[in-house]
Amino acid sequence: MSGRFETPDQVEAAFYAAFETMDPELMAAVWDSAQDALCVHPGGDLLQGHERIVASWQAIFTDARRPAIIYRLLDRKQDGELAMHLVEERIGARGEDAPSNRILATNVYRRTVDGWRMCGHHASLPLATGKPGGTDPAQRLH
């Protein structure tokens, strides 16, 4: 599974598999090796470049208990060798009835000489539950 990904969807499946199984090698294989790869964790600042991004995931895997993740593709846009997916992630502790955190993420993929890879991941902080389309005061900032 850490081989070549033929479509953005295959990369996305591997990304969430790496996240859920806390597999740093698979996570490293998912990400584009270019220095302009970008990752914004929820509440975090911008991380750039394969090495820093993979190190950040290793730190997350070291600290965390193994999560349960359900992801759902809400929208895709693609042209040529660039693809953008808007994904809803539900992340919780394993054994929960339903993952409790709902996170929106923009995932960006591109075709490289080694097949499709993730080159961008921008995730928001978990949304307040039960308020779809809500008017959180924070929204007024923007």
Binding interface with its own copies (CB under 8 A): 36, 38, 40-48, 60, 63-64, 74-75, 77-82, 84, 86, 88-89, 91, 101, 103-104, 106, 108, 110, 119-120, 122-127, 131-134, 136, 138-142
In DSSP notation, 20-53 reads HHT-HHHHHHHB--STT-EEE-TT--EEESHHHH
Minimum separation from the CB atom of position 127 to its own copies (A):
6
Closer by beta carbon to its own copies, 3 or else 74: 74
Minimum separation from the CB atom of position 96 to its own copies (A):
14
Cα separations in angstroms, 5 against 13, 20, 26, 44, 123: 10, 18, 12, 28, 22
Minimum separation from the CB atom of position 103 to its own copies (A):
7
Q: Which residue is it, tokens 């975090």?
A: 44
